[in-house]
Amino acid sequence: MKDFHFQSLHDPIQPLVLEFMGERITWDGAYAVIKTGPGKTGQALAGVEKVCKTLDPAFPFRYAFADEEYQKLYNGERTVSKLSDSFAVLAIFISCLGLLGLAMFTAEQRRKEIGVRKVIGARVGNIVAMLSKDMIKMVVLSAIIATPIAWLVMERWLQNFAYRTSIDWWIFMLAGVVAVVIALATISYQAVKAARTNPVTSLRSE
């Protein structure tokens, strides 16, 4: 028969001998692999248990599902995945709070400048672009710095697998685009609010 994976993908395919024991079969340490039809698992288990009790009433009937056993091989990866997702969401939330605070601070610092620009004819889009430009530059710079670090970490993690996928460049490009979109969505409200402020209010002496 062809080689197949009977361990996790961390390990290469190992040599395996499958022996048909026929009449020499013993129950000590023996396993029976059974394939059931769709929706007939319960019926199959009841039938196998009945056969086992008939052959040897003292034999403890135990069973496990192959898909669940294979899933156990990747419990560590699933745990890491859940933790990574949780920390990623938390990091994005904190970053958005920081960007929002920076946008509010920048709009307040440039309040009079925004008022003057509106008086001389600047549109809302121009002011929003002015307020967003510097912060988007920082996000893009952060993505450029983070990309090689992320690639190195992922590449080292994939080294734990004998069979692994390759890391495509578009994944990092997509991550950078998503980061820029999240940044724009975070600061756009504050930027539009500052751009629509009455210039008289902005230029009024305090």
Judgement on whether residues 41 and 143 belong to the same structural domain of the protein: no
Q: What is the pTM of this model?
A: 0.67
Chain mean pLDDT for the chain: 82
Summarised one tens digit per residue, pLDDT across range 37-67 is 888 888 888 888 888 888 878 878 888 888 8
35 pLDDT higher than 90: no
Judgement on whether residues 83 and 141 belong to the same structural domain of the protein: yes
36 pLDDT higher than 90: no
Nearby residues of 13 by Cβ (< 8 Å), 6 or more positions away: 3, 4, 5
Judgement on whether residues 8 and 63 belong to the same structural domain of the protein: yes
Summarised one tens digit per residue, pLDDT across range 9-25 is 888 888 888 777 666 55
pLDDT above 70: percentage of residues in the chain: 91
**Structural domain harbouring 173:** 74-203
The count of structural domains within the chain is 2
Q: Of the candidates 73, 104, 132, which is a domain's last residue?
A: 73
